[in-house]
Amino acid sequence: QSALTQPRSVSGSPGQSVTISCTGTSSDVGGYNYVSWYQQHPGKAPKLMIYDVSKRPSGVPDRFSGSKSGNTASLTISGLQAEDEADYYCCSYAGSYIYVFGTGTKVTVL
């Protein structure tokens, strides 16, 4: 299973919006509506931010939103805040209880 492709880094000023793409294949992202997104601060465990493409767990700000088109999923952070600076990973179900993660994107708040 090959890792999903994400941009290495994205950046934005406080209050702006940034979007992170996550490109896979028809065997993972394109084949299932089971894309999730995780935020990871340095030295910390990943935290679930989005699941099932666009659903937010309780407690996650509505500034975070997810979508999918074909083999590419996206995470958008609106109204960027300093605490959003972190690494973000997408994850897709690939069938047979197998998960594929993205390459990771570093979000920098300028």
Q: Which residues are at the interface with another protein (CB under 8 A)? A: 1, 3, 32, 34, 36, 38, 44-48, 51-52, 57, 89, 91, 93, 96-104
Q: What is the 3-state secondary structure (H, E, C) of 53-101?
A: CCECCCCCCCCEEEEEECCEEEEEECCCCHHHCEEEEEEEECCCCCEEE
Q: How far is the CB of 50 from another protein (least distance, A)?
A: 9
Taking CA atoms, 12 is separated from 27, 48, 88, in Å, by 32, 22, 15
Closest CB to another protein among residues 32, 76: 32
The answer to whether residues 80 and 17 touch, using CB atoms and an 8 Å cutoff, is yes
For residues 47, 52, 56, 57, the Cα torsion angle rounded to the nearest 10 degrees is: -60
Q: How far is the CB of 48 from another protein (least distance, A)?
A: 5
Q: How far is the CB of 87 from another protein (least distance, A)?
A: 8
Closest CB to another protein among residues 71, 105: 105
d(CA 105, CA 16): 17
Closest CB to another protein among residues 14, 61: 61
Closest CB to another protein among residues 77, 91: 91
Q: How far is the CB of 88 from another protein (least distance, A)?
A: 11
